[in-house]
Chain A
Amino acid sequence: MIKQYVESAKKGAVDLLEQAHKALEETQKINKEYRYSAAFADPVAQAEKLQQQAKDGKAKGRLFGVFVSVKDNICVKGIESTASSAILKGYKPVFNATAVQKCIDEGAIILCKTVQDEFGFGGFSVNTGKGIEKPLNPIDRKRTCGGSSGGAAGLTKKATFPHLALAESTGGSIANPASFCGVAGLTPTYSRVSRYGLIDYANSLDKIGTMALNVNDAALLLEIISGHDPKDSTCSQLPVPSMADVPGVISGLRIGIVKEAFNEQMDNNVRKTILEAVYKLEQIGARRIELSLPLSMNYGLSSYYTLAMTEASTNLAKYCGLRYGASEQLSGTYNEYFSRVRTSQLGDEAKRRILLGTFARMAGHRDAFYTKAAQVRTKIIQEYHMAFKNVDVLITPTMPLVAPTFEELKQLTPLQHYMMDILTVPANLAGLPHISLPCGESNKLPIGIMITANHFQEQKMLQVSNALH
């Protein structure tokens, strides 16, 4: 548990320098086998400063001496931050993302950046940018570690030192890899955490969240990074509730079982394991209520992908090879230069999404795709709000299966890849907080259970999580 470690570190009972050397060596060793880290910070120099503070009796902060890895699309000052895209190669931000700064202010040691699908475009971390090797599952290297926060989840699983991860989700990019790697992954309500310093791909969907080996550590980090930030105009002004150590008392709590998430298309072992967990919750006082979310489950994917791609197609236009990141010799007109840079630097999935997003907002298609998708989103949000009148949380499997092998993934078309997000996308589209927790195994591979709560009701999902673990 991070809290106990922090208390010891503050008292000077932990040799932070030794810890930093160990953390760095171990992360580099893990990296050789599993490829989770993109760029490294200097944890030893940071530890030295903290060690001095502890000696002077000035140690403070809820993360004092804790090693934090940062998904590559979250900016860390002076450390290459590329969102795993070649188009941002060499980009060393001149500022920290608010979430990163809040960690540093609490005494955290920034360890490294973690590998992801390029800009977050994928659910299996196989769409890393040009020249970036894909990360491998910590339990079986022939399998995916999920995505897009694949490096974050893999490192969280493997690290034996006190480590927490900052990750990010657009359509399920925290829950999915947390499920495939067997760690806890928390995604907050949209706008709970500032997006300042996040390399956004879809502004109306992106959320910075956390990962850890257990719920309370991930919740502590989420509590720390949450809260209003004048640097992000969309960031919520609502007060942040206590998230760490929410008691797992669930007597009388109403748990909604989403019928469509337990159909025949789901892996049998996954379905059975999640239903057993629900049974356990019933035994300790929860009320089980079956319900249906037809709009979310049938149209969530199409609405989500249309909006996400449309937003991505405009967002990525700022990477024009002039002010930061990859650049070339200036020649030709602006349009020729811009086309040359993005054509040579972006990967296939990024190009595919830019094309689809551009199509969806072109004259003649905009109403049929973009506006329609945003209207369907309204109805999906309404459907969830109706459901939350009758239940406190919703439970589904996180993923319909356990981590597939890279060979299996190769057989899938891009559309089939998107379909795998069927269970994580609707909650993300509606901006609802959700958590994925390890919940049993199938053939030694972790299964994830997903608990979703209403907007700004993070405490309820944590209540249920703590009752389960």
Chain B
Amino acid sequence: MDITPEIVKKVAENARLKLKEEEIKKFAQEMKDILSNFEKLNEVDTKDVPPSFHPVPIKNTSRPDEKGECLTTQEALSLSPHTSGNYFKGPKTL
């Protein structure tokens, strides 16, 4: 699998990471090495095999729609310097 610096740049952009040129070069080589190894998975015949997103069967669970214990607004806000009234404050999204 060929992983070029251009691919790494695109992936980093999607992953919201700012990489320096030398990091891009280094990661490109390492990713090539690792992903080529992962491609071994193609040797396994998985026709009609369902994927396992958990190792043991997981059921959807629900609970009664009743008020229970939860954090207070003040507790939830207590760890951030970026608050305004009862809200978190963030940078502009657009």
Chain A residues near B (Cβ < 8 Å): 90-92, 94-95, 189-191, 204-205, 230, 233-234, 236, 295, 298-299, 301-303, 305-306, 313, 317, 322-325, 327, 330-340, 342-343, 346, 351-352, 354-356, 358-360, 362, 368-369, 371-379, 381, 413-415, 418, 429-432, 455
Contacts and interface: CB of A to CB of B under 8 A. Distances in A.
A450 B78 CA distance: 44
B27 to A, nearest CB: 6
Interface of B: 7-8, 11-12, 14-19, 23, 27, 30-31, 33-35, 37-44, 46, 49-56, 58, 60-61, 63, 71, 75-76, 78-82, 88-94
A234 B18 CA distance: 35
Contacts of A352: 27, 30-31
Contacts of B81: 327
For the complex of A and B, list the 3 residue pairs with the smallest distance between their C-beta atoms, beginning with the closest. A431-B55, A374-B51, A375-B46
Nearest to A429: B55
Contacts of B56: 189-191, 236, 431, 455
B56 to A, nearest CB: 5
A323 B76 CA distance: 8
Contact of B44 (A295, A317, A346, A362): A295
Given A302-B40, A342-B17, A354-B17, A234 B54 contact: yes
Contacts of A313: 15
28 contacts: A91-B79, A190-B55, A204-B54, A204-B55, A298-B40, A299-B43, A301-B37, A302-B40, A317-B16, A323-B88, A325-B79, A327-B82, A333-B92, A335-B16, A351-B17, A354-B17, A355-B15, A356-B31, A375-B46, A375-B49, A375-B50, A375-B51, A378-B51, A379-B49, A414-B30, A415-B37, A418-B34, A430-B55
A227 to B, nearest CB: 15
Contacts of B82: 322, 327, 330
Given A204-B54, A355-B11, A414-B30, A94 B78 contact: yes
Q: Is the interface of A mostly helix, strand, loop or mixed?
A: helix
B81 to A, nearest CB: 6
Nearest to B33: A415
Contacts of A375: 44, 46, 49-52
Nearest to B20: A343
Given A189-B56, A339-B17, A362 B41 contact: no
B50 A358 contact: no
Given A331-B91, A373-B41, A378-B50, A322 B30 contact: no
Given A95-B71, A230-B63, A324 B80 contact: yes
A358 B15 contact: yes
A358 B79 contact: no
A415 B91 contact: no
A205 B18 CA distance: 29
A351 B20 CA distance: 12
A167 B27 CA distance: 30
Contacts of A429: 55
Given A191-B58, A379-B46, A413-B30, A330 B15 contact: no
A336 B38 CA distance: 32
Given A334-B90, A337-B91, A418-B34, 8 more contacts: A94-B75, A190-B55, A306-B38, A325-B79, A331-B91, A343-B19, A373-B38, A374-B51
A367 to B, nearest CB: 10
A94 B70 CA distance: 11
A355 B27 contact: yes
Contacts of A351: 17, 19, 23, 27
Nearest to A234: B58
A356 to B, nearest CB: 6
A456 B27 CA distance: 40
A373 B49 CA distance: 11
Nearest to B58: A234
Given A190-B55, A335-B16, A418-B34, A323 B46 contact: no
A111 B52 CA distance: 38
Contacts of A340: 18
B80 A323 contact: yes
B35 A333 contact: no
A431 B44 CA distance: 20
Contact of B17 (A191, A327, A343): A343
Contact of B34 (A94, A189, A191, A356): A356
A378 B88 CA distance: 42
Nearest to B32: A415
Nearest to A238: B56
B16 A305 contact: no
Contacts of B91: 330-334, 336-337
